[in-house]
Amino acid sequence: MTNIINELFGKNVFNDEKMKDRLPEDVYLKLKKTIAEGNELDSSIADVVAAAMKDWAVENGATHYTHWFQPMTGITAEKHDSFINSKDNKAILEFSGKELIKGEPDASSFPSGGIRSTFEARGYTSWDCTSPAFLKETKAGVTLCIPTVFCSYTGEALDKKTPLLRSTEALEKQVLRIVKLFGHKDVKKINCSVGPEQEYFIVSRQNFLAREDLKFTGRTLFGAMPPKGQELEDHYFGSIKENIACFMKEVNEELWKLGVLAKTQHNEAAPAQHELAPIYSEVNIAVDHNQLTMETLKRVARNHGLECLLHEKPFMGVNGSGKHNNWSIITDTGINLLKPGKVPHENLQFLLFLSAVIKAVDENAVLLRVAASNPGNDHRLGAHEAPPAIISIFLGDQLTDIVEQIVESGTATYSKQGGKMQIGVKSLPEIKKDATDRNRTSPFAFTGNKFEFRMVASSISISCANIMLNTIVADVLSDIADELEKADDFQKALSNLIARILKEHKRIIFNGNGYSDEWIKEAERRGLPNVKTFVESIPALTDEKTVKIMQKHHVMSKVELESRAEVQYELYSKTINIEARTMIEMAKRQYIPAVINFNKALADSIISMKNALKDIDVTFIIDKLSKSQNLLNEANNALIKLEENTLNAAKYTGKEQALFFKDNVTPYMEALRKPIDQLEEIVEKKYWPVPTYGDLLFEVGE
């Protein structure tokens, strides 16, 4: 296996090794310095770099190149140009430094949240050389992809990458101030490290294509629970079916070629649900790689007659999918600032960073909630398998105990240790226990040397979550640095500050069961916000506090934040509109006709049975018919209201429209689904027009 990894890893990436190989030494050194310092590429070397990149790409079969960017749609965008040029009436292959550095796609159809009107179509893409160029290989050919930022003519960010790069710079600036105070004068850079665990479902492509809801919306809008769900917990970590394993093998190989450190794969809790986790990397790369991972999962699944569903809640009644965003800060000298060490109570540097995260999360909980969300996540948050919509932090026994000591007496004097665990079998050795157990119900959990933000929606870019996380932590660190830099007695000021922060923000710490109803009451008592829906969390993007923080650290301007809020409202309205229209279409053209046919068959059989035998008792068939007909009427009434309100939504725009969809359309979607799902349990299978949950979840392969 190692051989395959060695052979494949980074094969399709224009990485350091290839740059060194192919560039003149002085150009290579200049480029490396630019990348290390995150500066703009010197135009004097751009032509040479571009030519080397093109030669490498062409040797590997590429005919086209594209600037690869991440507009606010949440997916990636490409506009392909071939390397072809004409010289003396002959076609030659060319790629200039100018083409490498800057592109100008006509970008009027990307969401801009009002920043740019369609007639001002200019958008610019510009190479982010901290993220390496790579080759995208598909059956259709090979394309050189150049990761770029995307901004408007007036310089506003129109993508998810620009603010992310700005947020890491902001975080770095403040972290460097703090570590200097602790005597780490040698630290020059930080690495904001992120490892996103990706959950997804796999269904057969044939079943997928037979369901309009899956095709148009990525989730089932109808469907009754089959006799078996996930109650036996026999799927979680179960052995992986062979065809799924073949699919995973190809996914891994494709990802390794792209330099993605695909590491862990297993079955998840729900039937047909799986997870893929890479080894963590620098956040900018992690975001790119997660986008590539999602794309690769979808593409490769099709090669195997399968379809990958990235939606947060493809099926009602079984677990949904999320993305666990593991996040920490590591210095260029190798110190993980979130690593507690063996005796955390003595590690004041760690305790300071821990306190900073606690304060940042407590003060900006709704902002984090919105950054992790999309319309799909509404079906997941608060259901009994995902963290609730309330943000709280899990610290575990050891750290909670230290926090309590500090809150009570100003300092902590000991750290609880994990100890040993007896398994009760003489031949087995004792197992060393971690000082802290895991908690699967917390939206924001400390997991040893990192925080794991578990609320993030499975299908979205992880960029927003990290932009917000980086910036709110940078902001708290900047206040801390202001205070500590002025202190006469650093040690004393430090201890006081940690104690003060923990006292003020300990309400956000919760180690119990986040799924319980008691927690909802307790959180309310503590004054923690519980914003239940995505739409209601959007205002957090533009509230005064967010604007102040984002502007102070030059991550996003007020206009940029407002545009993002606008894009989110639009996204919500469009999503619900598509879902409602899909339901209307399926109900009208598939379910209702099917039930009519079934009812007619029942009526026919009643008549023919009566004709055959006058005294025959057909009560139960009559009951069935009347039940079916009642449900059909109920569905039809809901359908009429749903159609009416979906049309009415067009009278509104922006936030008003989103709220209209939430309050006046989604209730009728539920009202329509309910009778149809009940009908599914009555109507004879041969009449049912689409594959059922049983087919979708349990017919995925051997």
Stretch that binds Mg ion, among 179-187, 250-258, 321-329, 683-691 (CB under 5 A): 321-329
The H-or-E segment that residue 421 falls in is strand 420-421
Residue 5, contacted partner among ligand ADP, Mg ion, none, CB below 5-8 A by kind: none
DSSP β-bridge partners for residue 190 = 331
Residue 73, contacted partner among ligand ADP, Mg ion, none, CB below 5-8 A by kind: none
C-alpha to C-alpha distance for 510 and 507, rounded to whole angstroms: 8
Q: Which 432-451 residues touch ligand ADP, going by CB under 6 A?
A: 447, 449-450
CB 407 within 8 A of CB 499: yes
Q: How far is the CB of 451 from ligand ADP (least distance, A)?
A: 8
Which of these, 383, 380, 570, lies nearest to 459 by C-alpha position? 380
Nearer to Mg ion, 396 or 691 (CB): 396
Residue 280 binds ligand ADP, judged by CB under 6 A: yes
Rounded to the nearest 5 percent, the helix, strand and coil shares of the chain are: 50, 15, 35
Q: Which residue has the tokens 């240790």?
A: 417
**Position of minimal CB gap to ligand ADP:** 195
CB 287 within 8 A of CB 159: no
- 3-state SS track over 104-139: CCECCCCCCCCCCCCCCCEEEEEECCCCCCEEEEEC
Residue 195, contacted partner among ligand ADP, Mg ion, none, CB below 5-8 A by kind: ligand ADP
Contacting residues for 284 by C-beta, under 8 A, at least 6 apart: 128, 130, 131, 161, 164, 165, 168
- Give SS3 for 307: strand
Residue 675 binds ligand ADP, judged by CB under 6 A: no
Q: How far is the CB of 452 from Mg ion (least distance, A)?
A: 5
Nearer to ligand ADP, 331 or 568 (CB): 331
33 to each of 49, 186, 254, 543, how far by Cα in Å?
14, 18, 30, 39
C-alpha to C-alpha distance for 451 and 382, rounded to whole angstroms: 20
Contacting residues for 522 by C-beta, under 8 A, at least 6 apart: 510
Residue 323 binds ligand ADP, judged by CB under 6 A: no
DSSP β-bridge partners for residue 262 = 278
Of 10, 111, 132, 195, the residue at the interface with ligand ADP (CB under 6 A) is 195
Residue 277 binds ligand ADP, judged by CB under 6 A: yes
Which of these, 193, 77, 178, 94, lies nearest to 466 by C-alpha position? 193
Residue 132 binds ligand ADP, judged by CB under 6 A: no
CB 356 within 8 A of CB 480: yes
CB 392 within 8 A of CB 530: no
Q: How far is the CB of 311 from Mg ion (least distance, A)?
A: 20
Residue 67 binds ligand ADP, judged by CB under 6 A: no
299 to each of 63, 287, 305, how far by Cα in Å?
21, 18, 11
Residue 326 binds ligand ADP, judged by CB under 6 A: yes
C-alpha to C-alpha distance for 381 and 513, rounded to whole angstroms: 14
Stretch that binds ligand ADP, among 34-42, 324-332, 629-637, 652-660 (CB under 6 A): 324-332
- Give me the phi and psi of 522, to 5 degrees please: -65, -40
Nearer to ligand ADP, 63 or 449 (CB): 449
Residue 277, contacted partner among ligand ADP, Mg ion, none, CB below 5-8 A by kind: ligand ADP
Q: How far is the CB of 194 from Mg ion (least distance, A)?
A: 13
Stretch that binds ligand ADP, among 126-134, 193-201, 471-479, 521-529 (CB under 6 A): 193-201
Residue 213, contacted partner among Mg ion, ligand ADP, none, CB below 5-8 A by kind: none
Q: Which residue has the tokens 């997991």?
A: 447
Nearer to ligand ADP, 440 or 674 (CB): 440
Residue 279, contacted partner among Mg ion, ligand ADP, none, CB below 5-8 A by kind: ligand ADP
Nearer to ligand ADP, 149 or 395 (CB): 395
Of 219, 324, 505, 655, the residue at the interface with Mg ion (CB under 5 A) is 324
Nearer to ligand ADP, 317 or 418 (CB): 418
Residue 323 binds Mg ion, judged by CB under 5 A: no
- Residues 466-495: x where in contact with ligand ADP by CB under 6 A, - otherwise, as a string: ------------------------------
Stretch that binds ligand ADP, among 6-14, 153-161, 192-200, 585-593 (CB under 6 A): 192-200
Burial class (CB in 10 A: 0-12, 13-18, 19+), 427: exposed
C-alpha to C-alpha distance for 361 and 367, rounded to whole angstroms: 9
Q: Which amino acid type is present at position 397?
A: D
CB 560 within 8 A of CB 164: no
Stretch that binds ligand ADP, among 111-119, 148-156, 189-197, 582-590 (CB under 6 A): 189-197
Residue 255 binds ligand ADP, judged by CB under 6 A: no
C-alpha to C-alpha distance for 262 and 290, rounded to whole angstroms: 10
Residue 458 binds ligand ADP, judged by CB under 6 A: no
Contacting residues for 294 by C-beta, under 8 A, at least 6 apart: 198, 310, 459
Stretch that binds ligand ADP, among 121-129, 304-312, 325-333, 575-583 (CB under 6 A): 325-333
Residue 193, contacted partner among Mg ion, ligand ADP, none, CB below 5-8 A by kind: ligand ADP
Stretch that binds ligand ADP, among 141-149, 323-331, 394-402, 669-677 (CB under 6 A): 323-331
- Residues 332-361: x where in contact with ligand ADP by CB under 6 A, - otherwise, as a string: ----x-------------------------
Residue 193 binds ligand ADP, judged by CB under 6 A: yes
Q: How far is the CB of 275 from ligand ADP (least distance, A)?
A: 9
Which residue spans within 231-368 are E strands per DSSP? 262-267, 273-278, 281-282, 306-309, 323-331
Q: Which residues bind Mg ion (CB under 5 A)?
A: 324
Q: Which residues bind ligand ADP (CB under 6 A)?
A: 193-195, 197, 277-280, 326-328, 336, 447, 449-450
